[in-house]
Amino acid sequence: HRFLASKEQFHAYLRARGELSSGGEEEEDQVEEKKEEVCSCQSEPPAKRVKSEDLGQDGESREDGGVEEEPVERKQARGQNKGRLCMKPNHYEQSRLCPSVTQGCAEKCYFGPRCRFLHDVSEYMASKPADLGRSCVLFETFGKCIYGVTCRFAQAHLGVGYQNIVNTDLAKQWEGKSLVRNNLSKDLQHQLRKRKFSFRKADEYLRGLAKPRGDGGKGGKTTERSTEEQEVSNCTTPQEDLGDSPECPVLLEQGEDPKPDALKSPSPTAGEEASSVKTVGPVTDEDIIKLRSCEKKKLEIQGKLYLAPLTTCGNLPFRRICKCFGADVTCGEMAVCTNLLQGQSSEWALLKRHHTEDIFGVQLEGAFPDTMTKCAELLNQTIEVDFVDINVGCPIDLVYKKGGGCALMTRSNKFEQIVRGMNSVLDVPLTVKIRTGVQEKINVAHKIIPKIREWGASMVTLHGRSREQRYTRGADWDYIAECAKIASPMPLFGNGDILSYEDANRAMQMGVSGIMIARQVPVGALIKPWLFTEIKEQRHWDISSSERFDILKDFTNYGLEHWGSDTQGVEKTRKFLLEWLSFLCRYIPVGLLEHLPQKINERPPYYMGRDYLETLMASQNVDDWIKISELLLGPVPTNFTFLPKHKANSYR
């Protein structure tokens, strides 16, 4: 109990050490006196300190909170901070240099006479904020910083007359190498915005859904056939019969029933639409004939550690951190299919893949078969992925009320059309992530999983909570084990409450094919990214505060590589760092725990770390998170504000 502290002790210690670091070492004796004064004060009763139900969402005790106020507090602690101030990173820089000047082609300004950016480098440098450091991670890693004079670490690579210095030998090593894939090209964005992209296979499937059935059924209903009949039609039926069958719209593919009008397309990419790979030389069968389900590449990830798609925080720099700690499979953040079809750059950024991510997938969210099938065909032709995942587990109201996420579990007809349609246009495996159900005590996953297997999915991930539970209470691993038996031979990954290697071992004994490690638990991938190392090495890692700070340094460097080292990139890196710190602060060092491992919903009392940095990292105060970011990225801009996107209710 020597690490326990009251709220006043905790904040007074951080305040005093902060003043010490800025005022000098001569104030150290005064700091110790302040600490003794605080410790001599009457501390909070242990019952009030320890009980989680008497603590607020932000970690501060509720002095006036009565029994009747608790439901109001719980309601406010759910979902997102929708009323937060949203200041974009580019707003922190008033005078910006024109990109044409940065790229060395000032005579060819993209905006012409209407350009509102500065073209005079000297004028820009006069108003540019001070540099944040003497070394630029881009220059040290790649031999060249593409941001030139706009880089916030420009003194490392600027010569006489603001000339950008290039390390030729180092730059040659990276020349021609693609570090980040799945970028959105301007040509593709133009096609999507002008609706000129060809969705031939998706349109073919959707026309099949609209046709009246031979048995008098409605066009919106898909035919119910057994798995054996599906296998026969997919693998052994002659191709001549496939095009004539009105009950098999999924199988109407190029090369099976060729028609002149189907092969002609006004799109400039008509010759490339059959394959996502551009070929040189003669056209092969792979360019013309669509792979059948039995010929598709299998998703061999049984027994591997799967990093879940994490909204906001599961960005590319964070996934690189998890790869370093031993994550085997990574997945991009949830992307909304309608935004992808519109060519939104911000949504396409969620699909980017680093070259170190050897097994990588993307997760799509949508509510209707037309948009989901078209989006699947779009991605199949334009990006490199190992699998595509359908989000049928998102609990937030914005998605649920539109019929997506968890709502698809109650819309089995649309769900079936989406899975069958996406599977028909994809050359890579299709996976599905679901929850136990919508309502808390009514599990429906065991009824849906056999259907998902029949519809053609390659794998299912089951989160052991319902929509109503969100991320609270314990995951039902007994139910996950029951569903794993039902899903066989289709692989089923379990998700929920993997807090240590012991929990991972217990989960694997339940009969699941693997485990997905997510975030919405007190110790998940976001709170404890080294959990992957603990599982692989079968140990509890009492990681020091300096080692944790080094992880934040790596994230900062990865962020500057990904988002840029100019003011806009620095502030975007800071934003995502602060979002991550809002989760990292919940980690309790192993050396301070009374028993191992930490359990879900255990809300710790205030405690003093073994050093100042460990105490600072345990603070749930936004100002302390900003202080950590300033240690890595320099002082924040004037009028800087931050409020995390997600409210934390996991401890309730």
Per residue in 36-51, pLDDT (tens digit) is: 443 433 333 343 334 3
Strand-pairing partners, residue 493, are 461, 514
pLDDT for 59 beyond 70: no
pLDDT tens string 92-139? 777 888 888 888 776 788 888 888 888 899 999 998 989 999 999 999
**At CA 347, angle to CA 341 and CA 353, rounded to 5?**
110
Q: Which residue's entry shows tokens 């992925």? A: 385
pLDDT for 245 beyond 80: no
Q: Over range 568-596, report the average pLDDT.
A: 90
CATH code of the domain occupying 305-541: 3.20.20.70
Q: Over range 215-224, report the average pLDDT.
A: 44
Q: In this predicted structure, what is the pLDDT of residue 397? A: 87
Q: Which residue's entry shows tokens 């630029």? A: 136
Query: Torsions phi, psi of 496, nearest 5?
Result: 135, 125
Alpha-carbon distance of 551 to 596, in angstroms, equals 23
pLDDT for 302 beyond 80: yes
> 481: buried, middle or exposed (CB in 10 Å: 19+, 13-18, 0-12)?
middle
Q: Could you tell me which residue, 645 or 510, shows the higher pLDDT? A: 510
Give the strand pairing for 514-517 and 305-307: parallel
Alpha-carbon distance of 530 to 108, in angstroms, equals 48
Query: Torsions phi, psi of 434, nearest 5?
Result: -130, 170
Q: Could you tell me which residue, 77 or 563, shows the higher pLDDT? A: 563
Alpha-carbon distance of 104 to 113, in angstroms, equals 18
Q: Which residues are catalytic?
A: 394
Q: What is the pLDDT confidence band of residue 227, given thresholds at 50, 70 and 90?
A: very low
Give the strand pairing for 353-354 and 180-181: antiparallel
Predicted model pTM: 0.79
Give the lowest-confidence range in 60-69, 101-110, 287-296.
60-69
pLDDT tens string 407-429? 999 999 999 999 999 999 999 99
The four Cα atoms 142, 148, 150, 152 give a dihedral, to 10 degrees, of 40
Q: In this predicted structure, what is the pLDDT of residue 519? A: 62
Query: Torsions phi, psi of 633, nearest 5?
Result: -125, 15
Domain boundaries, the chain: 99-180, 305-541, 543-651
Q: Could you tell me which residue, 652 or 112, shows the higher pLDDT? A: 112
Q: In this predicted structure, what is the pLDDT of residue 42? A: 35
pLDDT tens string 501-537? 998 999 999 999 999 988 644 446 888 899 999 999 9
What is the average pLDDT score of the chain? 79
Q: In this predicted structure, what is the pLDDT of residue 439? A: 85
Q: Over range 181-195, report the average pLDDT.
A: 95
| Torsion-angle region of 96 (φ positive above 0: left; ψ -120 to 50: alpha; else: beta) | beta
Q: Could you tell me which residue, 271 or 121, shows the higher pLDDT? A: 121
User: pLDDT > 90: what percent of the chain?
Assistant: 49
pLDDT for 550 beyond 50: yes
Residue type, position 259, single letter = K
Q: In this predicted structure, what is the pLDDT of residue 372? A: 97
pLDDT for 651 beyond 60: no
> 467: buried, middle or exposed (CB in 10 Å: 19+, 13-18, 0-12)?
buried
What are the Cα distances from residue 573, in Å, to 25, 407, 505, 567, 645? Answer: 32, 34, 35, 10, 15
Q: In this predicted structure, what is the pLDDT of residue 83? A: 59
Q: In this predicted structure, what is the pLDDT of residue 281? A: 56
